[in-house]
Amino acid sequence: MTQTLQTDWRPVIKDLEAAIGKDSVIRRKEELLVYECDGLTSYRQRPAVVVLPRTTEQVAAAVKVCDRYQVPFVARGAGTGLSGGALPVEDCVLIVTARMQQILELDLENQRIVVQPGVINNWVTQAVSGAGFYYAPDPSSQSVCSVGGNVAENSGGVHCLKYGVTTNHVLGLKVVLPNGEIMDIGGKVQEMPGYDLTGIFVGSEGTLGIATEITLRILKAPESIQVLLADFTSVEAAGSTVSDIIGGGIIPAGMEMMDNFSINAVEDVVATNCYPRDATAILLIEIDGLEAEVAAMSDRIKAICRQNGARDVATAVDPEERLRLWKGRKAAFAAMGKLSPDYYVQDGVIPRTQLPYVLREIEALGEKHGYRVANVFHAGDGNLHPLILYNNAVPGQLAKVEELGGDILKLCVKVGGSISGEHGIGADKRCYMPDMFSAADLETMQWVRQTFNPKGLANPTKIFPTPRTCGEAASAQVNPKFASIERF
């Protein structure tokens, strides 16, 4: 299929300006530069136009213009995504939700809040914490990423081990479909009859439309919280501890692992002065609940850590100490900048019991390819984040690092895991979809996309491999009948 790229943008821009106002349309090349990538900076493409709507109606008006001229559009929240989901496609309109930052409704009695998609994740907790509530999904990027982006990526975070990822906290959505129609899906209560369209939309990475209002579930803050830091001299021992804690029937609120490499990078940059620099691995374990329950869990976890050979288990009880422990973990990606000009982060998932084996294999793969790999991840969920350090200025390094990342993903699939835990597939991992899914699985997903997005205008080229993006071999499993919506 030949590409149908829009060459004369004047009528499109005129209509966009008429639809949402001149001051909401960005066209100057130097201003567009900011939008040419997301957190996966190795992929870049300048959009033709950026629009900054304020309301659902303005989003719908902008999408209708795209539909009228058959130009693709890509939604963007804060642009912190790590899989190239908000990466513009050639000659597209980028619809940015950064001005949609209102909290529309707060219903504490029924534990829900309605927000616009550009609201930043931790503003939700800030809005309700005074009344003793919080919003559980807490990606490490929570001080900058948007709720709309979280919905599209089905984001996770430290507290998702016990409380579930974004999809478990989204009750309903107002959505602008790719033809500009506005649709309400889900509702204000958890149990809705019929197909679970909210479940389908959450995690759809902007390929089914744009969420413009989001109803979230908020939780009552626990009575008591403790954070434990367990210090190990072997990765195997830390990995076995994770399995033993969960196998023992304890579900901590969060359980994160950092290897020696990450510990030292974090201490160099953030100086928590809490992480033992000579530890081979540490576990950060948060437990919450009623005071007596937390005390009992804490004792059992400490015993399990010691049985597995932990050198020490420290406890942070007061909020300041807890924050200090988490500050290092949350800054871990950024700290890699101290060690290397660039890093490439992967996001595979494995069964928890495979942690020691997979971490050893990752180390061996790093050695084989000649790159350093730091590991910092959601250990309780088996959600790995190997950070591969490289220098993008050196020609050829990026391709090699992507190959290493691909080998790590294939390893995750081999042990019964997945190619993404929370960062999405986007542009980065689409070529690995056939490693995980059969032709029939991929076809079913394509039918879903086609139902919402029949012309393929919403975030084309993402999630699924095509001959153009991944070559004939990788896309062989994708049914050619969907080629018409892969034309961009």
Ligand X SMILES: Cc1cc2nc3c(=O)[nH]c(=O)nc-3n(C[C@H](O)[C@H](O)[C@H](O)COP(=O)(O)OP(=O)(O)OC[C@H]3O[C@@H](n4cnc5c(N)ncnc54)[C@H](O)[C@@H]3O)c2cc1C
Contact at 8 Å (CB) between 327 and 396?
A: no
Q: DSSP characters for 9-42? A: -HHHHHHHHHHH-GGGEE--HHHHGGGS--S-TT
| Contact code string over 103-142 relative to ligand X, x by CB under 6 A | --------------x---------------------xxx-
Residue from the set 333, 344, 371, 437 that interacts with ligand X by CB under 6 A: 333
Sign of CA dihedral 79, 81, 82, 86: negative
Task: Please tell me whether residue 422 binds ligand X under the rule CB under 6 A.
Answer: yes
376 sits in which H/E element: strand 373-377
Q: Which residue type sits at 129?
A: S
Among 53, 156, 203, 382, binds ligand X (CB under 6 A): 156
If one asks whether residue 375 binds ligand X (CB under 6 A), the answer comes out as no
Count of all residues that appear for the chain in the document: 488
CA 341 to chain CA centroid, nearest Å: 22
| Distance separating the N- and C-terminal Cα atoms of the chain | 9
427 binds ligand X (CB under 6 A): no
- Residue 53 beta carbon to ligand X: minimum distance, rounded to whole angstroms: 10
Q: C-beta of 84: minimal distance to ligand X in Å?
A: 8
Q: How many CB atoms lie within 10 A of CB 364?
A: 11
What residue is closest to ligand X based on CB?
A: 149
Nearest to 8 by CA among 65, 50, 64, 48: 48
Min separation Cβ 120 and ligand X, Å: 8
The radius of gyration of the chain's CA atoms, rounded to the nearest angstrom, is 23
- Choose the stretch contacting ligand X; rule: CB under 6 A; options: 4-12, 79-87, 258-266, 319-327: 79-87
Contact between 180 and ligand X (CB under 6 A)?
A: no
Q: Does 216 bind ligand X (CB under 6 A)?
A: no
For the record, the structure tokens of 357 come out as: 């084996």
Q: What is the 8-class DSSP label of residue 234?
A: -
Residue range at the interface with ligand X (CB under 6 A); choices 7-15, 146-154, 180-188, 369-377: 146-154
Nearer Cβ to ligand X (145/287): 145
**At which residue do the structure tokens 């973990």 appear?**
329
Asked if 335 touches ligand X (CB under 6 A), the answer is no
- Whether residue 266 contacts residue 335, with contact meaning beta carbons closer than 8 Å, is answered with yes
Q: Which is nearer to ligand X, 72 or 117 (CB)?
A: 117
Residue 417 is a binding residue for ligand X (CB under 6 A): no
**Binding status of residue 186 toward ligand X by CB under 6 A:** no
62 scored as a contact of ligand X (CB under 6 A): no
Question: Does 89 sit near ligand X (CB under 6 A)?
Answer: no
Please compute, for residue 341, the number of CA atoms within 13 A of its CA located in the half-sphere on the CB side: 8
Contacts with ligand X by CB under 6 A: the residue count is 37
Nearest-approach distance from CB 461 to ligand X, in angstroms: 11
Residue with smaller CB distance to ligand X, 215 or 240: 215
Rounded (10°) angle between helices 332-339 and 260-269: 90
Beta bridge partners of 230: 283, 313
Residues that bind ligand X (CB under 6 A): 38-39, 74-82, 85-86, 97, 117, 139-141, 145-146, 148-150, 152-153, 155-157, 205-206, 210-211, 333-334, 422-423, 459
